[in-house]
Amino acid sequence: MGRNMRSPTLNDVARLAGVSYATADRVVNHRGNVADKSVRKVLTAVEQLGYVRNVAAANLSRSRTYRLAFLMPGGSNPFFERMHAHLEKAASHLKHSQVSINIVIVDAFAVEALEQAIEVVAGADYDGIAIVGLGNDRLVAPLNALRDRGTRIVSLVSDLPDSCREHYVGINNLKAGRSAARLMGMAHAGGPGRALVAVGSLDAPDHADRLQGFRTVLEEDFPEIEIASVIEMRDQSALMHRMMMEAWSTTEGVSAVYNVGAGNEGLIDALRIMDRPRRFCSIVHDLIPPTRRALEDGTLDAAIDQRPEIEINRALTLLRAIVDDLPPPPMPELIPAIFVRDNLPDETV
């Protein structure tokens, strides 16, 4: 009968490396102030022994608090209001686990405002931050400077340039746009159509990707459906209402509307007063109270929801792992839910 094999300890690492326990501890827990030669010896011993550091014990011994920040758009966007509410609940729950979360409000689609917010968090010594990204090269330098200081970065909902974040948390927006086009094509049953498309901003990677995916499927599989116009709404409900009514009155043969971003309240109000043809298709993103009611009464046909509560939970789990220099936990692709009036979930009380 064989003997039980015990796991290697930090004492074993120190002994094999020929250094003190304190030196080995400083190396494996990234506390610095160790000569390069000793660092190499300890890392070699770690690899030879297959030593795995006990993150929980290390954090407990240091009374470690994870300091995290979330840079997110504010304003009256119901999607981000939903995300803020869940993050606040998570923050209240996690404070007992030594996790401190700060929400930094940033103007939507404003590159300069996001730059300024990054400067603010750079001076606050956060362990990790999650950012609702914009695809602008002006963000690369300040984000890389933040990473050089040891801050871990993930993008949330809308991606950042690959070079300046560790991971992206969110749905595949190309697939989301493709799904919207597939639904629209099915609704037209092989017949012709003209679609009005609304976007918040083409500077937002999630909106640009959705539009690209939408265009691709229409061009490849439903060429009889043309995009009559693409209107940037800045996710503003009042602007959405006004510009949608103008586009409706000046565009012949409109048979469908697809809203890539937010501002759905304005779109819904417009749809309710438009003299729409009997066969008409309306698709939006995000299941929020106004879109739910519009699905129930038939104003909208489908809502593609990216499940923001799951995105927040994944971002928190991922940040804590990479702050501890652990590999990211296994996370299957986040598939958006497509809601019609017949499969709406029960409303929470």
CB 87, CB 103: distance < 8 Å? yes
Contact between 248 and 196 (Cβ < 8 Å) = yes
Residue 349 pLDDT class (50, 70, 90 cuts) = very low
288 and 267 housed in the same domain:
yes
On whether residue 339 sits in a domain, the answer given is no
- Mean pLDDT of all residues in the chain? 90
Q: Are residues 282 and 321 in the same domain?
A: no
> What does the alpha-carbon distance between residue 120 and residue 113 come to, in Å, rounded to a whole number?
11
pLDDT value of residue 74? 82
Residues 114-126: tens digit of each pLDDT: 999 999 898 888 9
Look at residue 94 and tell me whether its pLDDT is greater than 50. yes
In a domain, residue 2? The reply is: no
Give the pLDDT confidence score for residue 33 in this predicted structure: 78
Say whether both 196 and 262 belong to one domain: yes
What is the total residue count of the chain? 349
Eight-class DSSP state of 193: E
pLDDT of 191 strictly over 70:
yes
Q: Is residue 36 part of a domain?
A: yes
pLDDT score recorded for residue 4: 52
**pLDDT computed for residue 10 by the predictor:** 81
pLDDT at residue number 2: 46
Nearest Cα neighbor of 320 from 126, 40, 158 is: 126
Give the per-residue pLDDT at 327: 83
My answer on whether 129 and 96 are in the same domain is yes
pTM score of the predicted model: 0.81
Residues 270-276: contacts with CB within 8 Å, 24+ apart? 270/240, 270/241, 270/244, 270/245, 271/299, 271/300, 272/299, 273/245, 274/245, 274/248
Do 181 and 271 sit in the same domain of this protein?
yes
Determine, yes or no, domain membership for 83: yes
Co-location of 198 and 179 in the same domain:
yes
* Structure token digits, residue 107: 């103007």
Most confident region among 77-86, 97-106, 251-260 by mean pLDDT: 251-260
Residues 166 and 177 both lie in one domain: no
105 lies in the same domain as 49: no
Backbone angles phi, psi at 211, to 5 degrees: -65, -40
Whether residue 312 sits in one domain with residue 163: yes
Q: What is the CATH number of the domain that holds 42?
A: 1.10.260.40
The CATH number given to whatever domain includes residue 234 is 3.40.50.2300
Rounded to whole angstroms, how far apart are CA atoms 226 and 215? 9
Same domain, 210 and 298: yes
- Domain hosting 161: range is 66-170+308-334
Q: What is the pLDDT of residue 9?
A: 84
The answer to the question of residue 38 being in a domain is: yes
342 located within any domain: no
User: CA dist 307 to 32, 251, 304, 339, Å?
Assistant: 40, 34, 9, 12
Q: With respect to residue 347, please indicate whether it lies within any of the assigned structural domains.
A: no
Considering the domain boundaries, does residue 281 fall inside one?
yes
Q: How far apart are the first and last CA of the chain?
A: 59
Tally the domains of the chain.
Answer: 3
Confidence of residue 276 (pLDDT cuts 50, 70, 90): very high
Q: And the tokens for 289?
A: 């109270």
Q: 3-state DSSP call for residue 9?
A: coil
The C-alpha atoms of residue 121 and residue 141 are separated, in whole angstroms, by: 14
